[in-house]
Amino acid sequence: MQINGFEYSKEEVLEALERKGYRIVTATFYNEEHIHGSTFIKHHYSTECAICISDQTPNEANEWHLIAKKEFEKKPGKPPLI
């Protein structure tokens, strides 16, 4: 995963999230593929989610890579003139 122009392994990112107070849990989600007619096939996949609140449930919005980008990536800004 690339953060701020540097490459980090998944293990490094998950460890850093845990040190920031996130709890890492594995969750299973699915994508639906439409097949002709009204039939759908569910493609299941498992991923880690970073949860910061104890009553928060794992969902696709708190997948580890999305939380890591939000938590660690610094937005480039205009430096002050003085």
In a domain? residue 43? yes
80 found inside a domain = no
Domain span holding position 67: 2-72
> What pLDDT shows up at residue 56?
82
- State how far the Cα of 49 lies from the Cα of 27, in Å rounded to an integer: 7
8 alpha carbon, distance to own chain's centre: 14
pTM, two decimals, is: 0.76
Specify if 79 maps to a domain: no
- pLDDT value at position 44? 93
51-54: long-range contacts at Cβ-Cβ below 8 A with a sequence spacing of 24 or more?
51/22, 51/23, 51/24, 51/25, 52/21, 52/22, 52/23, 54/23
Structurally, the chain folds into a number of domains equal to 1
